[in-house]
Amino acid sequence: MVFQMSDRQNSENTIITTNNSHHDNASTTASPLKPTLPTILAINNKNANAASGMAVHDDCKLKFLELKAKRTYRFIVFKIDEKSKQVVVEKLGEPAETYEDFAACLPADECRYAVYDFDFVTKENCQKSRIFFIAWSPDTSRVRSKMIYASSKDRFKRELDGIQVELQATDPTEMGLDVFNSRAN
């Protein structure tokens, strides 16, 4: 009978062979082995998470809760810090700032995530608000950056409980005020 064992502390794998013909005289031998399948899967899974599921800095969640509950901010712009491999807050928009201020904060050639607290008036003349999540991915941004942002988006959105509308934009016309108005209703 052959067993595979992995010693996680020493990163060594061995094969233990047991002779079951005589239970009294069971002998075992050990020899080095290449990494086992579970070890390979764990390594690959760790690398996959690094590529597709960036960590989210606690400040992102905290600032989003302040926007949602207290309306402390009009918008928040987030970026992926590739050195620390996490999503961080890049810019906080004060409540008095306008949509134009928000749009000006999104770089023309770099991807970003953003949330925007959009106030509008319904057809029934009621004042309402919707929280938009914007995945900003301009055509001029690097392909690698687009891939990282696209693969991390769903995980990041799950961390921000309370998103009501999602927009994906590659140029400013895809997230204009007319688009916000039509999607808010």
Q: Answer yes or no: do 136 and 158 share one domain.
A: yes
Nearest in space to 115 (alpha carbons), one of 166, 155, 152: 166
Tell me the per-residue pLDDT of 15-68, one tens digit each, with 9 for 90 and over: 444 444 444 444 444 445 555 444 443 443 344 344 455 899 999 999 999 999
Q: Answer yes or no: do 46 and 59 share one domain.
A: no
Q: How many domains does the chain have?
A: 2
The residue among 19, 35, 51 that closes a domain is 51
CATH number at residue 82: 3.40.20.10
Tell me the per-residue pLDDT of 70-95, one tens digit each, with 9 for 90 and over: 999 999 999 999 999 999 999 999 99
Q: Answer yes or no: do 37 and 70 share one domain.
A: no
What's residue 52's pLDDT?
A: 52
Domain around 38: 2-51
Tell me the per-residue pLDDT of 141-167, one tens digit each, with 9 for 90 and over: 999 999 999 999 999 999 999 999 999
Please give the single-letter amino acid code of residue 66.
E
Q: Answer yes or no: do 76 and 135 share one domain.
A: yes
Q: Answer yes or no: do 46 and 60 share one domain.
A: no
pLDDT band at 98 (very low <50, low <70, confident <90, very high): very high
Nearest in space to 174 (alpha carbons), one of 103, 94, 116, 83: 103
